[in-house]
Structure 1
Amino acid sequence: MTGRQTNTMQRESFSVTARFAQALVDAIARQGGQVPEALRLGRTQEGRVDMARQEALWALFVEACPDDPLAALRLGTDLQAGHLDIVGMLLLSCDTLGDGLEVLTEYAPIIGDNAHFEVAVLADPVQLRYVPGYVLYQQQRVEATLGCVVSLARWMTSGRFRAREVLLAHAARTDAAAYEALLGCPVRFGQPVNAVCMDACELNHTLVQAGSSLQQHLRSLADGVLASLAQDGTSARVQQWVRAHPRWGKERIAEQLGMSGRHLNRKLALEGISFKGLREALLHDMALQALRDGQKIAAASEALGFCDENAFSRAFRRWTGQSPAQYQKTERK
């Protein structure tokens, strides 16, 4: 475990990214469950959701699907990179699956900071181990996490990834064949660890949206987010304001935080981030989401505060190497 992970695990309060929590809210609704107003997340909400609230959502999810022992596993296999916040973007920017595993072990606390991943290279196979620090609904949450890992690895490698087996520390919650049908590999229960096992050669698979230059930028941003988990970082609060008001500049956001623009720069610098870099990375993320949701290019440009569609297109090409129209065409395939 890295020093950063150790410090995170020693904290008394934990949280998860709002996007991951929203995936759980949506799953409860699909199962016909009702989420009380106090537990609902606004569609534009970003930042963190405290663990007590997240565990209350898990309770509602389990209650909503009493007759489906694999509901949590199905939830995990349905999760997409966007649900993992900036960690998902980082994963998509990696060159190979092996690089992706390194990113996951380092930055997973951004998704939920009371669990972590470890890579154990036991000659062959390689084990990606998941170590939860929570107790409530542990079986369901572990299954959702490992289901997400297997499904996302398969998607990022265009279907080439093949897990050798999945290990679960708990007993089977239903017939093992049902697990194997969902995961596409053998599953063993009552094991010493929770892990996805794979042949070492699987780490060499190239990923569908590799981009090393983007990864460097995202790593800088993700480092700041990790730092903010331990000290209620300024970057986390800036992210909330930028996402809610993408047209606002540094001075306007600094005013909302009760400081000057110069002071805001100094606070962000302590987390290794600049306001410009943070805002641009967030606009990039929001642009991708808007186009994936089917928004018109002109509407996305207007919503994100660009002076015109041409300026938006230039920025989008700088971020992705594609025009917005090319990206939407690729997404529809």
Structure 2
Amino acid sequence: MASKVKSSALMGFYPLCRELKINPVKILAAEGLSSAVLRSPDLMIAYESLAHVLNHAADTADYPLFGLAMARYQDLKTFGPLGLLAAQTHTVAESLEVIQKYFHFHAYGASINLLPPDKEQRTHVNIEIHLAPSISQEQLLEMSLVFGYNILSDLAPEFATATEIHFRHERMASSEQYQALTKARLCFGQEKDALVFPACLLSRPPSPAPEEVRNYLEAFLAQESKGHEQPLQYKVSRLIYELIPTGEATLTTIAPMLGMNVRTLQRELRQNGTEFRRLLDEVRFEIARGALEQNHSITDVALNLGYSELSAFSRAFKRWSGVPPQQWRQVSHPPTF
């Protein structure tokens, strides 16, 4: 399977290109990418294409720190709803576990490994991006590791001064040029590409998600609204849709994302003539129909929707549609909600 990443990884590409007086659309087109990737953060693009775009932009602007400068625009909000999910844990260690566990929903073909503390009681978070050796990764790695540093700093401010960023490659500009773009301590010519920090920081409780992360979530929930406030049930459904693959599409997860407690969210949904369980069923039914139309196995569909037993999924699907999933696929019944 080819390595891919969500188009939110291009966050900051357009304003940085304009700042450097180069044409972002032309650079994307050279790699066969539409400008739609700048408007829609949830499209999947090849990691190879992202690396080529960054390298092309750096060469065109004659600016060797293009990737690192891009990272100034990227932090928890780049993960969308999963960024808020990571900020709602009890410790930074749990936050990193959430990111590590669900990172494949943001990107696959890259891996994040949280290593045990070394003899100096420092933790290493190694990052590997699996691309052909012929592809230059310096721009991509500088963007990705500083992005990771920004996430840690969002989760707890102590990380900002205590974290080192290790790169295998040598520096591509002067120390002063690097320091103008990030407060992180940068170490080049290292054994691994990694974030390194005192292990004791993992026990810190994460800070509340920054306001701009919540604003970004509001923008995510307002997509396709044409400037109008979306009803609460729409926002809940969008979050359910995003979180179902993670197994975290629950009231206790979604209510804080919307700035409510569970009872308040339940009450407001009832006032809007619905309830969380109904919205969850509607989204599950929508996802199931799409997967069945694409000939995914019924077992895979059930597991992806959070059902541990095929029989439970079959009963639920029959309740939604009037027929079992196999029969529905054969005759393509319309929804009956």
Q: TM-score higher than 0.5 here?
A: yes
Q: Which residue of 2 is the match for residue 76 of structure 1?
A: 71
Task: After TM superposition, give the deviation of residue 160 of structure 1 in Å.
Answer: 5.8
Q: Which residue of 1 is the match for residue 303 of structure 2?
A: 270
Task: After TM superposition, give the deviation of residue 252 of structure 1 in Å.
Answer: 9.5
Task: After TM superposition, give the deviation of residue 173 of structure 1 in Å.
Answer: 0.8
Q: Which residue of 1 is the match for residue 34 of structure 2?
A: 40
1:150-191 deviations in Å (ceiling 9; x for gaps):
122112224664334221100111223443454334322111
Q: Which residue of 2 is the match for residue 196 of structure 1?
A: 195
* SS of match in other structure, 2:196: strand
* SS of match in other structure, 2:162: coil
Q: Is the 8 A contact 1:73 1:140 kept in 2?
A: yes
Matched, 1:51 2:47: yes
How do 1:167-186 residues align onto structure 2 when only pairs under 5 Å count?
167-180=166-179, 182-186=181-185
Distance (whole Å) between structure 2 residues aligned to residue 146 and residue 152 of structure 1 = 10
The aligned amino acid for 2:187 is: R
**How many aligned residue pairs are there?**
233
1:7-41 deviations in Å (ceiling 9; x for gaps):
xxxx3x12111222354455434433321455234
Q: Is the 8 A contact 2:71 2:147 kept in 1?
A: yes
Structure 1 gap ranges (5+): 1-10, 225-245, 275-333
Structure 2 residue corresponding to 1:125, chosen from 117, 122, 129: 122
How do 1:145-160 residues align onto structure 2 when only pairs under 5 Å count?
145-158=144-157
The aligned amino acid for 1:174 is: A
1:254-312 deviations in Å (ceiling 9; x for gaps):
7984858xx999764221348xxxxxxxxxxxxxxxxxxxxxxxxxxxxxxxxxxxxxx
Distance (whole Å) between structure 2 residues aligned to residue 132 and residue 144 of structure 1 = 12
1:96-124 deviations in Å (ceiling 9; x for gaps):
22222222333333322122111222141
Task: After TM superposition, give the deviation of residue 125 of structure 1 in Å.
Answer: 1.2
* SS of match in other structure, 1:162: helix
Q: Is the 8 A contact 1:160 1:205 kept in 2?
A: no
Q: 1:44 to 1:198 in 2, by over 3 A?
A: closer
Q: Which residue of 1 is the match for residue 256 of structure 2?
A: none
Distance (whole Å) between structure 2 residues aligned to residue 164 and residue 55 of structure 1 = 25
How do 1:189-268 residues align onto structure 2 when only pairs under 5 Å count?
189-209=188-208, 221-222=245-246, 253=286, 257=290, 268=301
Q: 1:59 to 1:176 in 2, by over 3 A?
A: closer
- State the TM-score, normalized to the length of structure 1: 0.58
Matched, 1:61 2:81: no
Distance (whole Å) between structure 1 residues aligned to residue 152 and residue 15 of structure 2 = 23
Q: 1:137 to 1:83 in 2, by over 3 A?
A: farther
Distance (whole Å) between structure 1 residues aligned to residue 75 and residue 163 of structure 2 = 22
The aligned amino acid for 2:89 is: C
Distance (whole Å) between structure 1 residues aligned to residue 19 and residue 154 of structure 2 = 23
Distance (whole Å) between structure 1 residues aligned to residue 59 and residue 188 of structure 2 = 24
Matched, 1:21 2:38: no
Structure 2 gap ranges (5+): 210-235, 249-278, 308-337
Q: CA RMSD in A?
A: 3.7
Q: 1:16 to 1:160 in 2, by over 3 A?
A: closer
* SS of match in other structure, 1:152: helix
- State the TM-score, normalized to the length of structure 2: 0.57
Distance (whole Å) between structure 2 residues aligned to residue 173 and residue 47 of structure 1 = 31
Q: Is the 8 A contact 1:73 1:147 kept in 2?
A: yes
Q: Is the 8 A contact 1:21 1:49 kept in 2?
A: no
